[in-house]
């Protein structure tokens, strides 16, 4: 299967997965070492102060790095987050969020990605750096 078709299939399967549907996340784009995922504001994702819980934003960011990395590994390879650092800058109480991830390093056993999460006005909500372990499956 050619890579573009494979990544489109990954995007569709991912968007239909239970966790993505729970959070309302949608993979908008997967390309070589990059991805964009959107997540709408939902009351169910807020904490008692009525702003989006940091865990939901972290899930959006982590998922975005995973989608960027999937474009750089073989379909049979497996990978998992082994380190994750997030800084929050702006609270979110309405609108859509968009995570844009880029892989900044990919070796044979690890990869590092960075993510910017922005609100619909383009204001930076969070910045992430995440490290993944890659396991080759033959």
pLDDT at 137: 84
Query: Using the 8-state DSSP alphabet, how is residue 3 labeled?
Result: H
* Structural contact between residues 60 and 106, judged by C-beta atoms closer than 8 angstroms: no
> How far is the first Cα of the chain from the last one, in angstroms, to the nearest whole number?
18
Does residue 26 surpass a pLDDT of 80?
A: yes
* Structural contact between residues 118 and 124, judged by C-beta atoms closer than 8 angstroms: yes
Q: Indicate the pTM of the whole model.
A: 0.94
The number of domains in the chain is 1
- Domain CATH for 12: 3.10.129.10
| 94 contacts: CB under 8 Å, gap ≥ 6 | 41
Going by pLDDT thresholds of 50, 70 and 90, the confidence category of residue 125 is very high
Domain, as residue range, for 64 = 3-135
* Structural contact between residues 117 and 58, judged by C-beta atoms closer than 8 angstroms: no
Burial of 13 (0-12, 13-18, 19+ CB in 10 A): exposed
Does residue 131 surpass a pLDDT of 70?
A: yes
Burial of 111 (0-12, 13-18, 19+ CB in 10 A): buried
What's the average model confidence in pLDDT over 81-104?
97
Tens-place pLDDT, residues 32-84:
999 999 999 999 999 999 999 999 999 999 999 999 999 999 999 999 999 99
pLDDT at 1: 59
Does residue 138 surpass a pLDDT of 90?
A: no
């Amino acid at each position: 299967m050619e890579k573009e078709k494979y990544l489109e299939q990954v995007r569709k399967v991912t968007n239909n997965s239970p966790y993505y549907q729970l959070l309302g996340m949608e993979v908008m784009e997967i390309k070589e070492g990059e991805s964009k995922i959107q997540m709408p504001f939902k009351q169910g994702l807020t904490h008692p102060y009525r702003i989006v819980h940091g865990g939901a934003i972290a899930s959006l960011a982590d998922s975005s790095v995973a989608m960027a990395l999937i474009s750089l590994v073989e379909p049979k390879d497996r990978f998992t987050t082994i380190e994750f650092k997030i800084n929050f800058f702006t609270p979110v109480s309405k609108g859509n969020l968009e995570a844009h991830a880029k892989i900044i390093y990919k070796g044979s056993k690890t990869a590092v990605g960075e993510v910017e999460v922005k609100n619909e006005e383009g204001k930076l909500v969070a910045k992430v750096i995440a490290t993944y372990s890659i396991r080759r499956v033959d």
